[in-house]
Amino acid sequence: MVVRAASAVAAAGAVMAALASASVPTAAAEGDSHYTARSTTQFSPADGPVLTKAVTYNTKLVPASSQVTVTEEARTESTEVTLEVSGLQPNRAYGAHVHTRPCGRQPAESGTHYQDRKDPKEPSVDPAYANAKNEAWLDFTTDADGKGSAKSSHNWHFRAGEAQSVVIHARRTATGPGEAGEAGKRVACVTVPFGQAGR
Ligand SMILES: [Cu+2]
């Protein structure tokens, strides 16, 4: 029992970092394949002792211990992503998108926005590519309690390995030419392996 207690203490940090994580392929209905992956995590400072799955780069806009849940629901003809946050600043607009790379200690490590049709030019600020249909945008406005949520729906699927995080930005996503897709500084990031359905 003493040995067990010691290992439990050692594992406590990891448990705090990943409160709950589930990947649940659900039963197919009439040939329609249906896959749901949901992950809930607390944000930790990106410069902390351990790089956790959800990191905050700005503890004023996204406080440590605030919580995030990301759900990917993939069906035969569609993909739906849901973002839910709590513990953020009340009554405030944030931008958010699915990005290509996992979160790192530096905000830029999460890469560019995931695009179904890739813009040959980088950075992609052309509204023909940088738009909410070709990318997964999850902008939200928090309520008086600091809770917020957003959902994106598409008729395409993520290519496995090419969509690996959700990044929260300091402001709403712009849509005009030359600035489309921009949403200010990256204030937090959660690593999520999208596009694993049926592979
Ligand atoms: Cu982004």
Q: Judge whether 199 lies within some domain.
A: no
Alpha carbons within 13 angstroms on the beta-carbon side of residue 63 total: 9
What's the CA-to-centroid distance between 57 and ligand 1, angstroms?
14
**Residues in a beta bridge with 165:** 99, 191
- Counting the structural domains of the chain, the total is 1
Give the domain range for residue 110: 2-191
- Separation of CA 174 and ligand 1 centre (Å): 11
- Of 27-41, 141-155, 159-173, which range is least confident? 27-41
CA distance 166 to 168: 7
d(CA 32, ligand 1 centre) in Å: 31
Q: Please tell me the predicted confidence (pLDDT) of residue 100.
A: 98
Tell whether 59 is covered by a domain.
Answer: yes
> 81-101: per-residue pLDDT in tens?
999 999 999 999 999 999 999
The alpha carbon of 36 and the centre of ligand 1 are apart by a number of angstroms equal to 23
- How many alpha carbons lie under 13 Å from residue 171 in its C-beta half-sphere? 8
In a domain, 46, yes or no: yes
The residues that bridge with 42 in the sheet, in sequence order, are 67
Residue 198, domain member (yes or no): no
Confidence of residue 31 (pLDDT cuts 50, 70, 90): low
Q: Strand 54-56 and strand 44-45: pairing?
A: parallel
The enclosing domain of 129 has a CATH number of 2.60.40.200
Cβ distance 35 to 198 under 8 Å? Answer: yes
Residue 196 forms part of a structural domain: no
Write down the mean pLDDT value for the chain.
87
Measured in angstroms, how far is the CA atom of residue 65 from the centroid of ligand 1?
21
Rounded to whole angstroms, how far apart are CA atoms 113 and 144? 29
Q: Among positive and negative, which fits the CA dihedral 35, 41, 46, 47?
A: negative
Spacing, Cα 48 to ligand 1 middle (Å): 22
**With 90 as the cut, is the pLDDT of residue 8 above it?**
no
The pLDDT score that the predictor gives to residue 33 is: 75
**pLDDT recorded at residue 27:** 44
State the distance from the centre of ligand 1 to the C-alpha of 188, rounded, in angstroms.
10
Q: Is 197 part of a structural domain of the chain? A: no
pLDDT per residue over 167-199, tens digit each? 999 999 999 999 999 999 999 999 999 998 655
The conformation of residue 49, written as its DSSP 8-state character, comes to S
Q: Specify the pTM.
A: 0.85
